[in-house]
Structure 1
Amino acid sequence: MLREERIKLILDFVNQKGYCTNELISKELGIPFTTLRRDLTDLHNESKLRRVHGGAATIKEKSILETNLHEKLALNIEAKRNIAQKALACIKPLETIFLDAGSSTYYLAELIKPEYNNKVYTNSIINAQILAKNAIRDIYLLPGKLKLSTGAICGIETIQALTKYNFDVAFLGINAIDSAFNFYTTDEDEAEIKRTAIKNSQFTFGLGDSSKMNSKSFVKFSDKKEIALISEGN
């Protein structure tokens, strides 16, 4: 059995029951104890299941509230830098990019260099500043209302501006990801910006570290059928 198949079986089995002993999982799914312990440790470290003495338990989805951008920039830095490196590999020369507001997209902005001659559109003042520091020549800051807590520009003007453009690739921030890989944000205006960017992009990637897993926030804006998730674990 391939690891991916085994992991899905374990997740589905434990989530269905809420709690299972190691013996029950091993017996019902036909997975050797040594392999099972290793898989459960990986799932625990990825915040997909919770290892408990003698077994495993489902993680109840937590609710994510909006936090200040400067606070988010100081959290899970290594994971976000890893995600940014993976996202950078998805950018080709001369492509037009939409770069969403957020802490993970901030770390991607740090890596984008002028040699690729990309046009970058963003609704984040801080991302625009980082791009300018990197000597990116074509930076377009979208109009709208500034959200002070996140440094994001949003509102009807932002959405109207986005509808005029077609992007080769978009990179979106994510506040929460539930167990079915639905993607959430904390604000309806920002959700609509993300939806518009998805609609107007050839390829869209969501950037979210493992701390966002098994959680929900105020507004669902997409799911795994529409965008590809880039996390430190994939």
Structure 2
Amino acid sequence: MVQDLGISFTTIRRDLLELEEQGMIIRVHGGAKPLRDKNVAEELLDEKLSENVIAKKEIAAKALDCIKKGETIFLDAGSNTYYLSQIIKPELELRILTNSIINAQELAKNGNNFVNILGGRFKLKTGAIIGYEAIKSIQQYSFDIAFLGVNAVDNHYNLYTTDDDEAQVKEQAIKQSRFAFALADRSKFNSKSFIKFASKNEVTVISED
């Protein structure tokens, strides 16, 4: 490829870096690939957990820095929030509500004692608990911080998900929280999905950048 184009490896690496910074591509081993199509479809949770792992762990570390000891938090379902659940320690003495069974399991493994799970309908594809019961349950709580999963972030920092039931849970969590953060790795940017659940004046986006 270098010979065909008549340019150096250094030039290729520089150009790929610039394109990645502009949100047009994501670099992978051996080259690069375009970011997701403009409209994003839902992936299986197991697939998402194995994608962009380094970036998601960086995001989790940044999110952890936003938490103060003794706070009450909502931890949404999703792959980015999963990596946050892995590093929350009992020394923070948090009260945590989550709509994700695997997040609850990770929190319990770490020794966190005050973990509550929303009741409602379990969505196997994303591992989220959703529906009327979940909405009614979450209305009883008041959170210092909500950490939300997100499927897509457009150029105006509007946030999207693929399911209206999941969107309702996220919207309600934002209403019940003093601060709300969306955890989104770079691959989620410059795209949209089925339903918008928040805009940039409601939620702060934490990414690896």
Alignment of structure 1 residues 77-88 onto 2, 5 Å: 77-88=53-64
Which amino acid in structure 2 is aligned with residue 64 of structure 1?
V
Q: Percent identity?
A: 53
Distance 1:43 1:214 in 2: 15
Tell me which protein shows more helix as a share of its residues: 1
* Higher alpha-carbon Rg: 1
Task: Report the Cα distance in structure 2 between the residues aligned to 1:150 and 1:208, rounded to whole angstroms.
Answer: 16
1:110 is matched with 86
Superposed, which structure 2 residues align to 1:195-234 within 5 Å? 195-233=171-209
TM-score, length-scaled by structure 2: 0.86
Alignment of 1:99-178 (within 5 A): 99-178=75-154
Q: Decide whether aligned partners of structure 1 residues 179 and 130 sit closer, same or farther in structure 2, where only a CA change above 3 A counts.
A: same
Gaps of 5+ in 1: 1-37, 51-58
Report the counterpart of residue 5 of structure 2 in structure 1: none
> How many positions carry a matched residue from both structures?
188
**Displacement of 1:49:** 4.2
TM-score with structure 1 length normalisation?
0.77
- The alignment partner of 2:86 has SS state of helix
Shift of 1:205: 0.3
Structure of greater relative contact order (alpha carbons < 8 Å, 6+ residues apart): 2
**Alignment check: 8 A CA contact 2:41 2:193 kept:** yes
Q: How far does residue 45 in structure 1 lie from its aligned partner after superposition?
A: 1.4
Q: Which runs of 4 or more aligned residues in structure 1 lie more than 4 Å from their structure 2 counterparts after TM superposition?
A: 40-43
Output the aligned Cα RMSD.
Answer: 1.8
Flag the 1:99–1:142 CA change in 2: closer, same or farther, 3 A: same
Secondary structure in 2 matching 1:146 = strand
CA apart distance, 1:47: 4.8
The Cα shift of 1:63 comes to: 1.2
Give the aligned residue type for 1:171.
F
Q: Is the 8 A contact 2:36 2:187 kept in 1?
A: no
User: Once the 2 structures are TM-superposed, how far is the Cα of residue 41 of structure 1 from its aligned partner?
Assistant: 5.8
Q: 1:149 to 1:61 in 2, by over 3 A?
A: closer
CA contact (8 A) 1:96 1:119 kept: yes
Any stretches of 5+ residues in structure 2 without a counterpart?
1-13, 26-34
Q: Deviations over 1:183-221 (max 9, x none)?
A: 000000100100001111000000000000111100100
